[in-house]
Amino acid sequence: MLQIDDTIISLDLFDQCFCCDLKACKGICCVEGEEGAPVELDEIAQIEEILPLIWDQLTPDAQEVINEQGVAYIDREGDMAISIVHGAECVFATKGEDGIWSCLLEQLYNAGKTTFRKPISCHLYPIRTKKFPTFQAVNYHKWHICKDAVVDGRKKNLLLYQYLKEPLIRKFGKQWYDQLVVAAEHIVKQ
């Protein structure tokens, strides 16, 4: 483990390779699982603000879930999570003509219609963060559906912390990431 400021970081970030391969996995992480993606309270407010812009693109089932419980709910661990349809599928997931699942929120962002991209937990995946009273854990969540991303990461020799540079900076800031890079250089030399 490595500590930077109030974060405790798994060494997996420095020795595990990863690079999403959407052609192989089809974005299945958006529609598989038992809980919705973790979401922060300020993110819920931002999502609710832009919801009218994507409402008509949501599936009828997703609209029904949002009407009943909102864009988020309290999961089994007591944390806020993005609402899901049929116990698995994110309410904001949409399947493209190519069969690849993507995020309606991110599509809106990519079209320049909002400054909110998507929940940071989605942007950071497969890294998961968890707040504790005195620190925040930063861990690699290994999931079999991401096996192609591990293979692609190995081919490209792309480590987790490198692949997830943009979301790590979004979450923790540039100074924190710069410290992470310095630490990574020392860890890799060992």
> What pTM did the predictor assign?
0.91
- Element containing residue 153 per DSSP (H, E): helix 147-156
Q: Give the separation between CA 26 and CA 18, rounded to whole angstroms.
A: 16
Name the residue ranges covered by the structural domains of the chain: 1-18+127-190, 26-125
Q: Give the separation between CA 25 and CA 149, rounded to whole angstroms.
A: 8
Position 137 pLDDT exceeds 90: yes
Residues 6 or more apart in contact with residue 139 via CB below 8 angstroms: 10, 12, 127, 128, 129, 130
Query: Which pLDDT score, from 0 to 100, does residue 190 have?
Result: 60
Q: Give the separation between CA 78 and CA 117, rounded to whole angstroms.
A: 25
For 61-104, the pLDDT digits (tens) are 999 999 999 999 999 989 999 999 998 999 999 999 999 999 99
